[in-house]
Amino acid sequence: MSKGILYSVILHVMFFGGALITSPFDFNKKMDETDIIRVTIKSLPEFKVKEPEPVNPPATPAAISVEEIPDIPLSDPRTIEDKKELKEKPKPKPPKKEKPATKTQPQASQTEEPKEKEIESKTTRSGAMFAGATVDNKAFHYPYWFDLAFSKIHSNFRSPISSDAIITAVIYFEVIQSGRVVLVRVEESSGIERFDEACLLAINRSAPFPPLPRSFGEEIIGITLPMAYDPY
């Protein structure tokens, strides 16, 4: 049974059912034939499903013909290298020899002051036993202190030799703030060992020296003291 016929039957059933429910149930009443509606049932035409038209497959492109590349004959590379003219590479220039820099010796500045300061006192005047004595601290300018210290050394010196020539030994010693000697040594020997020992002994016997002045801010001074023996 097609769907159209089924729908038509359902509609008629609903129609008659509704008429029966709404109209009074009088079975003895004769039905007027004029009121009867004649209905003819016709079947609906069947729906034909249209089949899809076949799609033609796309035409395959024609094969592209590849042109054959002719073989190019290669010549022997060795023959090519033989024909090439070898160019001589330019020889590198030898590096220039640099002249060694002449070392310039630093010239002593004329204005440069000596590290040591010559001592000026009565005991270091020309011709005196301690002439030419120096101190390594320029800030120490107290002539009276040198006079006291060198006078003690002179009084404690005893020459162990007797000679007609002048003999000189240079002694270096250091004095701290309290006046104590912390170092004493022979800076330049006289050439006579007994004379050098006598000079060292005179300084050691004279220690301690007077304390360094309080106004002097440093703790130590170094003194280079020539000690000359003059027979005249």
Does the pTM exceed 0.85?
A: no
Sketch the domain layout of the chain as residue ranges.
Answer: 117-229
* Residue range 210-220, pLDDT digits in tens: 999 999 999 99
Query: Which of the four pLDDT bands, split at 50, 70 and 90, describes residue 8?
Result: confident
- Euclidean distance between CA atoms 33 and 127, whole angstroms: 186
Task: Count CB-CB contacts under 10 A for residue 86.
Answer: 6
Residue of higher predicted confidence among 104 and 223: 223
* Residue range 90-123, pLDDT digits in tens: 666 666 666 655 555 545 445 555 578 999 988 8
Tokens in use for 183? Answer: 């170092």
- Identify the helix (H) or strand (E) that includes residue 194: helix 193-206
* Residue range 28-77, pLDDT digits in tens: 555 555 556 666 666 666 656 666 677 676 666 665 555 555 565 555 55
Mean pLDDT score across all residues of the chain: 78
- Euclidean distance between CA atoms 154 and 150, whole angstroms: 6
Q: Is the pLDDT of residue 227 over 90?
A: yes
In this prediction, residue 59 carries a pLDDT of 66
- Euclidean distance between CA atoms 137 and 218, whole angstroms: 9
Domain range 117-229, CATH architecture: 2-Layer Sandwich (3.30)
Mean pLDDT (whole number) for 180-187? 97
Instruction: Give backbone dihedrals phi and psi of 181, rounded to 5 degrees, phi first.
Output: -85, 125
* Residue range 30-43, pLDDT digits in tens: 555 555 666 666 66
In this prediction, residue 109 carries a pLDDT of 47
Q: Is the pLDDT of residue 21 over 80?
A: no
